[in-house]
């Protein structure tokens, strides 16, 4: 029996229509376009304005886009992994609802939360299920409605985050394509530097926590930046060395879209030319779990079968890592 590898065979995406530009943010907080662009590389981000729609709406749209483009029957999907930091509800699984809404009623589903590394961790998990031989079609969705947890009076965070969703389908491959290697890590030292303080079991929701604005995301930007630069770059460099890859062997770097300076530092460590570094941060900002699949969707037409792609991410917790994947198809 041939060895099974897990390959990405289809991608899909969705972003809301409303564009929150730097110019608009200038009217909301004490900031300006030049300051934001210089420090983050972000020009605009998409916002889901509908108050009655949550992360599940974004995820459903991205999944439906993939299903339509790949022309697959939702009933053939075996399982769904919902990578998100902004689940619709604290208990009822968002992934389960998404599975039902897209007609994947033969699939089991669950949520995976590792902050901005959620999709990267999800790639590892989805690939493992496929490589086990038990599942043929695993749908991995990364989606976040970050606007639901951002304080738009806090210029340290409101300039960074946006809403969006992306999805990929993992299937068995017998040509040696797909996920080749991974290096995933975490460190609880980051617990206090990027978080939502209240709403969990440690500090349950009360009138006081709401009044004190403890249900929005807060971060120590300088500390997070320092750890992100070091760990994303280290992980990416390690994955190259472990697989005897040089910068010439790498076709594309798909990095988490949190900050252009972090991406530049990672690419520099890998000694990659700019043309190999894929970015759309200027259009979407940091969509947390959705950044990696949104990049795949935007640049899918450039990928060729057999291309070596390095993924890298860093998130709150702290969580981080890198994945080496061989692309499995040419876009038709």
Element of type H or E holding 82: strand 79-83
| Residues designated catalytic | 116, 256, 286
Alpha carbon 40 to chain centroid, angstroms: 17
Query: What is the spatial distance between Cα 250 and Cα 212, in angstroms, rounded to a whole number?
Result: 48
Evaluate whether 181 touches 240 at the Cβ level (below 8 Å).
Answer: no
Are residues 310 and 323 in contact, defined by beta-carbon separation less than 8 angstroms?
Answer: yes
CB 65 within 8 A of CB 33: no
Q: Is 306 left (phi over 0), alpha (psi -120 to 50) or beta?
A: left
CA distance 6 to 180: 9
- How far apart, in Å, are the Cα atoms of 229 and each of 142, 208, 222, 317, 318? 22, 36, 11, 15, 12
């Amino acid at each position: 029996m041939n060895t099974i590898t897990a390959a990405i065979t289809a991608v899909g995406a969705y972003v809301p229509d409303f564009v929150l530009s730097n110019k608009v943010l200038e009217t909301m907080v004490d900031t300006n376009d030049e300051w934001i662009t210089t420090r983050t590389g972000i020009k605009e981000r998409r916002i889901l304005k509908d108050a009655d729609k949550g992360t599940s709406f974004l995820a459903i749209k991205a999944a439906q886009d993939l299903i339509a483009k790949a022309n697959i029957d939702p009933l053939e999907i075996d399982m769904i992994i919902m990578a998100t930091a902004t689940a619709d509800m604290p208990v009822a699984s968002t992934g389960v609802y998404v599975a039902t809404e897209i007609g994947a009623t033969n699939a089991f589903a669950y949520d995976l939360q590792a902050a901005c590394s959620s999709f990267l961790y999800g790639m590892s998990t989805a690939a493992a299920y496929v490589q086990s031989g038990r599942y043929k079609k695993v749908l991995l969705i990364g989606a976040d409605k970050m606007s639901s947890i951002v304080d738009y009076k806090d210029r340290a965070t409101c300039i960074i985050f946006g809403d969006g969703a992306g999805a990929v389908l993992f299937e068995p491959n017998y040509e040696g394509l797909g996920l080749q290697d991974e290096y995933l890590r975490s460190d609880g030292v980051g617990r206090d530097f990027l978080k939502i303080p209240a709403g969990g079991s440690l500090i349950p929701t009360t009138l006081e926590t709401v009044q004190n604005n403890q249900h929005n995301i807060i971060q120590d930007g300088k500390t997070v930046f320092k750890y992100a630069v070091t760990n994303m770059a280290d992980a990416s460099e390690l994955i190259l060395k472990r697989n005897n890859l040089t910068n010439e062997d790498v076709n594309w770097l798909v990095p988490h879209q949190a900050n252009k300076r972090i991406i530049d530092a990672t690419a520099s460590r890998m000694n990659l030319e700019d043309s190999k570094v894929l970015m759309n941060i200027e259009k979407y900002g940091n969509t947390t779990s959705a950044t990696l699949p949104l990049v795949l969707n935007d640049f899918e037409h450039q990928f060729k079968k057999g291309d070596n792609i390095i993924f890298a991410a860093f998130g709150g917790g702290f969580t981080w890592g890198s994945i080496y994947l061989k692309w499995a198809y040419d876009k038709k």
